Each structure stands twice: as C-alpha cells, then as structure tokens.
Amino acid sequence: MSISDSIEKQAEEFAARYKAVREQIGRVIVGHNDIVHGVLTCLFVGGHALLEGVPGLGKTLLVRTLAQTLDLQFSRIQFTPDLMPADILGTNMVVETPEGRREFQFQKGPIFTQICLADEINRATPKTQSAMLEVMQEKRVSAAGQVFPMQPPFFVMATQNPLEQEGTYPLPEAQLDRFFFKLIVGYSGREELATIIDRTTRGVDIEPDKVMDGSEIVKWQRLIREVIVAPHVQDYIVRLTLATHPGGPFAQPATNQYLRWGASPRGAQTVTLAAKVRALLSGRFNVSFEDVRRVFLPAMRHRVILNFEAQAEGVETDQVLVDILKKVPEKGDEGQAA
C-alpha cells in the first residue's frame, strides 16, 4: 500500500467513525447540525466548546448525550453565584492515616474527569470562573504544592446564557480565549420542534450506544495534526487573523471602525486545526480555502472585542467577521494590506 493510499484510508476511517458518533447523538438531539459538528470538532482537536443560548434549547442535553456516546468519565458542575474555586478544583482535607496520625490530603474536585459540563458558567463570579484557566489551557491543576495532570482526552463544554439575562457575569477575555469554538444555539424550526415534542412526550427514553473510547479519540487527535496546510492557505489564515487587528497593516475598514481588540495567535491556531478536521471529513489530507472560511466565525467570534461605536450602533461581532471574510482575498501581496 502506497503512502497516499494509507492516508486516504485513514481519512475515510476517521470520517466513518465521526459519522458513527454523530448518528448516535442524532438519536437524541434533533437538528442543530452545525452545533453538533462544532462540538465534535472541539473534541477531536483537544479543544473546549462554549455554547451560548437561552435556557431550554438542549445545550445540557447535548453534552450529556455526547458523554453517553463516548466511553469517558463525565461530571457536571452547575455554576452558581455562591460557587467557590475549591468546589471545582478540590481542596485540602484533614484525614486520619492507618497509623492514627492526621495529615492534610488533597481531595480532587469534579473537574478531574474527561468530559466536564460547566453548566451556565457565566452565573458564577469572575473569581470562580478564573479557576478554570489553568486546567483548560495546561490540562492540569496546581494545588497544595503539587501538580495533578488530567486524564486524556480532557474536554470542557461550557454553556452560558446571553449576557442580557439577569444574574450573569461576563467571562474574562483570557478565559474566552481558551475556548476553541463559541457556538450560538438558536431556536428549533417547525419540523424540528414537532419531532422534539414527539420524542419527549410519549414516554420513549432513547439511550445512545457507546461507540468510541478515549484511546481512539487520542489517535484521531494525532492524525488531525498531520493534515497538510499549504503555505498559501496558511498565509490566508494569517492575513485573516491580522485583519482583525485595528490599525494593523491588514485591517479592513470594518475592523478599524468597530473593533477594539483583535484575535490572538490562538485564534489562528484554532482556525488551522478546525480546517484540518473539515478537510479530513471531506476525504482530503490537505486544507482548502473553503475549509478555512467555514470555521472562521466560531473560531473568532469570542476572540475579538467590539468597541463602543459598534455597541451603540447594534453591530454584531459576526457582522464584522463576515465583512473581513468578504474583503480579504485568498492570495495577497506580502507585507501589504489586502
């Protein structure tokens, strides 16, 4: 078997296994195809997902279904205003040894799992929210003078209510940047809502089958990183990222008018990895321009900050990002504004 045949076979196998997971989720979750794809993309690249939407749209059900489909440890943390960092990470407790002595011992919190649902994360105070920073980025917890690594794969899926709702605290920019995707969960359509009613009001309890374990997920995470990004496609990703920087050489008119801060390098890394997943699912081992465009919004919408003018005029982040996608060409002259 040639190298190209081996690569093609691996891409086909990944697409088939991805489809198997998605089909099991589809047995429970009605519609929201883009949201399900975004969550699975985060899982298969080793990132974390942030879902925003009003209560009752199935955000919590989605992550519970994902945990049932995968043979992984699962825990749920319900974020509330009185939640403390120790309630998430764990704390030192006095325990008695078999010899009768008393000593401090670190008791791990619910974050020590493989899939963690951080439910309504923006209902906790900023102090508690920031407890997630290290574990999400470094996948470890430093406590009681020790470092406790997380068991791979480690995936945080957080849900948040729109900031306009009462009792919410905005997530710090540093924490937002640690989410791979921010996915906006909208309302179901007419047919989807009818299907939801049928499934949930007739006493039928659908349980998805377990179709994948942690070792297989880690295998696919390694494969995704081997997908090729040609120099001209990578340059397109770089220019798109730089186009979000107000006052920069690649900034677009909408950037300078409506953005206060642009995306960090983590944004370019996110677009690259997510585009690699798109390529594999299309049976290719190289990233296309279209792959990049398809993942740009969920990868960037939480990494750019609107200025006061945008807020006053009611301009949405996605509007600015779509304008950037339209204005930045696939090929550009090095060192010049697009």
Structure tokens that stand for 275 in this block: 């585009």
Considering only the top CATH level, what class is 3-201+213-220? alpha beta
Tens of pLDDT, residues 140-198: 888 777 888 888 899 999 988 776 555 677 788 888 888 999 998 878 777 777 877 77
Domain with CATH 1.10.8.80 in the chain: 227-327
Domain with CATH 3.40.50.300 in the chain: 3-201+213-220
Q: How far apart are CA 77 and CA 207, in angstroms?
A: 22
Q: What's the pTM?
A: 0.86
Q: Give the CATH fold of the 227-327 domain.
A: Helicase, Ruva Protein; domain 3 (1.10.8)
Classify burial at 231, counting beta carbons within 10 Å of its beta carbon; exposed 0-12, middle 13-18, buried 19 or more.
exposed
Question: Residue 80 above 60 pLDDT?
Answer: yes
> Residue 328 — very low, low, confident or very high, per pLDDT cuts 50/70/90?
very high
Tens of pLDDT, residues 97-140: 777 777 777 788 889 988 999 888 888 888 888 888 888 888 88
Residues 6+ apart with CB under 8 A from 105: 92, 93, 94, 95
